[in-house]
Amino acid sequence: GMIWSECKEIWEEGPREYVVHLWNLLDFGMLSIFVASFTARFMAFLKATEAQQYVDQYVQDDDLNNATLPPEVAYFTYARNKWLPSDPQIISEGLYAIAVVLSFSRIAYILPANESFGPLQISLGRTVKDIFKFMVIFIMVFLAFMIGMFNLYSYYLGAKYNPAFTTVEESFKTLFWSIFGLSEVISVVLKYDHKFIENIGYVLYGVYNVTMVVVLLNMLIAMINNSYQEIE
């Protein structure tokens, strides 16, 4: 029903006018993810049905552990910890979780009608522009330190107390979570006696935390506060 409603809205308003309103994009994204989730789950159901039909037709033994099954059929007897990362059921569950979050955020559509919550939501929407301006500086600083720390520690894979900064992915995760105080100082410590590298790591990691947490985040708070006062 909601999909049909969105199709009618696109038909009546036209695609260009439809895209202008952010609520329409939220609805379209939410419904698309729901459809993708249900499609992936249906694909998993069809594959499991095919495997069950094979078992019913060719396997006489009641205990599947003693039966010889083709790999594509035996897969459906495995526990979840042995499923492939690309399993349609796993993908379906991940997409469904995202769609549920978006569906609950849709409640915010009626908040502007309230005297107390309306101004807050309008202010939040308009301060998003300030956040995007801030993100340009944020991403520049973040990428600089991420690549620098990766270049420093990429040669020490397996020679650290944790894998932080040894790969691009680990560098990203360590620096991102350090903004919220969830990364440890041991991330820059080496098992080898290479004090020069270790000291540079300490300095760069310290400068990063001061720049991001003390300077940039407080600058963002000041920008949002200033925008909120103007909007109010």
Q: How many residues does the chain have?
A: 232
Residue 64: the pLDDT is 67
pLDDT in tens, 110-163: 777 777 777 777 777 777 777 888 888 889 999 999 999 999 998 888 888 888
Low-confidence residues in the chain, pLDDT < 50:
none
How is residue 63 annotated by DSSP?
-
- Residues 6 or more apart whose CB falls under 8 angstroms from that of 35 comprise 3
Residue 42: the pLDDT is 96
State the Cα–Cα distance between residues 132 and 187, nearest whole angstrom.
30
- Residues 6 or more apart whose CB falls under 8 angstroms from that of 11 comprise none
Residue 230: the pLDDT is 77
3-class SS at 167? coil
Domain boundaries, the chain: 2-109, 115-230
**Which amino acid does the sequence have at 158?**
G
Rounded to two decimals, what is the model's pTM?
Answer: 0.69
Q: What does the block give as tokens for 121?
A: 């939501």
For the domain made up of 115-230, the CATH class stated in words is mainly alpha
State the Cα–Cα distance between residues 20 and 45, nearest whole angstrom.
38
3-class SS at 160? strand
